[in-house]
Amino acid sequence: MKPFDVIIIGGGPTGLSTAITISKNSDLSALVLEEHSEIGNPLACGEGISKEKLLTLANMPPISKDINSSMLKLQKEKPFVEREVISQRFFFGTTGVATSNLNIATINRPLFDQLMAKEAKELGATIHLNSQVIGIDRKKQQLEVKTQKESFSAPLVIGCDGPSAHSVQMMGLTPPTEYVQGMEYKIEGVHTDALDFYFDFRKFPKMHYGWVFPKKAHTNVGIVADTASRPKEILDEFINNLNNANIKNSKIVKEIAGIIPASGPIPKRYCDNYLVAGDAAGMTNSIFYGGIAIGIHTGMLAGDTAIKAHESQKFDEEFLSEYQNLMNSFPYSDPVIQEAHDILYSKFSPSDIDAFGSLLNGWDITTISSLQKIILLIKALKMPSKLKRINDVRTVAYGFSKSRDWGF
């Protein structure tokens, strides 16, 4: 059985970020176990990420930090940023379109993950591919991690194994309780210049939202839907319904599917000798279901905690609980995000979505002025049936403001 200081389960952005933090800031030996034969594949991602997080969050693949220059010119290594997008559009049913000015990048996600893996290795981390973890046993003060081929031991294991959260279950913690399904086609050609989000609960009662994201030579068109639904049928119907002949007639070059945790942070993200980060910990933005930036950041916190645990030689849950306290101090952990998720996807009706469309049509929802708020109130007063929703709308808007930088 090979000993390591820290074993990381999962070679996605969260696990790789954890390995980078540990290897950059300490001499500890870190092992990443990844079940697939290649980092970044299979892809399960819309490939959108906030530009601000891309430029400011340590552990992102290398890029110049000059935020005023075009990212496309500043990539140091292989160009994983495919396009800078300077506006988002929100389509509400057929009644209106609002915009938001958040700057986004669309990325080549397999390359993004591979560049993170390269950095982790250069810093000294060990990455084993084709290594699916099938069991974790407690042996005195160590955990023994078993793959089909070998066993490894460490005083600290960090679960970064994505939405299925198997390691969380192996450790007896409670995994995410709710998921959504994501389904996407990568199609030939670029058929939008904004990041487009579609909300239409009337035509698509099981779809949370649909997206159309521009890339360098492709467009990603996808949907997130309830688990009790047929996402491929919904996606085909969604594309049929789009007012964009180019999208309908373009060749599909890839199909992508995956699940995303939608119940917010799991209640306990540590126990003796174990921490969990990223999707496996339920750490996604459950309004838009983005999780790359949050995964990278929670991986950094887990890596820092691992270093402190080794410095003080304490791996018990009391010591490790500080990790969760720290995570809870960041905006992406704010319970209002989950409240906003519950209201938006369980409480709002098709006619509420229509009302948003007619109230917000043509507005930039990120820069609503005081005057516009008064206009909104006057318009809303003309829709008495919607006034009872005003507190819900405020909660969703507040949740959106807390989560937007951490997703897209």
Site for ligand FAD, rule CB under 6 A:
9-15, 33-36, 44-49, 132-133, 160-164, 166, 182, 184, 222, 256, 258, 260, 278-279, 284, 290-292, 295, 407-408
Q: Whose Cβ is closer to ligand FAD: residue 164's or residue 366's?
A: 164
Supply the minimum distance, in Å, between the C-beta of residue 171 and ligand FAD: 12
Supply the minimum distance, in Å, between the C-beta of residue 282 and ligand FAD: 10
Q: Whose Cβ is closer to ligand FAD: residue 161's or residue 352's?
A: 161
Q: Whose Cβ is closer to ligand FAD: residue 26's or residue 114's?
A: 114
Supply the minimum distance, in Å, between the C-beta of residue 17 and ligand FAD: 8
Q: How far is CA 150 from CA 4, 35, 114, 144, 382, in A?
A: 13, 13, 24, 10, 68
Supply the minimum distance, in Å, between the C-beta of residue 184 and ligand FAD: 5
Answer for the pair 269, 323: CB distance below 8 angstroms, yes or no. yes
Supply the minimum distance, in Å, between the C-beta of residue 106 and ligand FAD: 8
**Cα distance between residue 102 and residue 195, in whole Å:** 10
Supply the minimum distance, in Å, between the C-beta of residue 288 and ligand FAD: 8
CA end-to-end span of the chain, whole Å? 42
Q: Whose Cβ is closer to ligand FAD: residue 271's or residue 368's?
A: 271
Q: Whose Cβ is closer to ligand FAD: residue 363's or residue 406's?
A: 406
Supply the minimum distance, in Å, between the C-beta of residue 313 and ligand FAD: 27
Paired strand residues for 137 = 144
Supply the minimum distance, in Å, between the C-beta of residue 200 and ligand FAD: 19
Q: Whose Cβ is closer to ligand FAD: residue 147's or residue 244's?
A: 147
* Residues whose CB is less than 8 angstroms from the CB of residue 359 and which lie 6 or more positions away in sequence, other chains included: 96, 376, 379, 380
Supply the minimum distance, in Å, between the C-beta of residue 383 and ligand FAD: 33
Q: Whose Cβ is closer to ligand FAD: residue 63's or residue 355's?
A: 63
Give the number of C-alpha atoms closer than 13 A to the C-alpha of residue 312, restricted to the C-beta side. Answer: 11
Q: Whose Cβ is closer to ligand FAD: residue 159's or residue 357's?
A: 159
Supply the minimum distance, in Å, between the C-beta of residue 377 and ligand FAD: 34
Q: Whose Cβ is closer to ligand FAD: residue 43's or residue 368's?
A: 43
Supply the minimum distance, in Å, between the C-beta of residue 88 and ligand FAD: 12
**Cα distance between residue 201 and residue 189, in whole Å:** 28
The verdict on whether omega for the bond into residue 42 sits within 30 degrees of 0, i.e. cis, is: yes
What string of DSSP letters covers 260-279? EE-S-S-S--EETTEEE-GG
**391: which 2 tokens?**
């507190």
Write down the H helix ranges in 188-288: 231-241, 245-249
Q: Whose Cβ is closer to ligand FAD: residue 107's or residue 309's?
A: 107
Residues listed for the chain: 408
**Cα distance between residue 179 and residue 215, in whole Å:** 27
**Which of 112, 113, 234 is CA-nearest to residue 184?**
234
Answer for the pair 309, 320: CB distance below 8 angstroms, yes or no. yes
Write down the H helix ranges in 345-389: 350-360, 370-381, 384-387
**Cα distance between residue 220 and residue 182, in whole Å:** 12
Q: Whose Cβ is closer to ligand FAD: residue 46's or residue 93's?
A: 46
- Residue 172 burial class via C-beta count within 10 angstroms: exposed 0-12, middle 13-18, buried 19 and up: exposed
- Residue 88 burial class via C-beta count within 10 angstroms: exposed 0-12, middle 13-18, buried 19 and up: buried
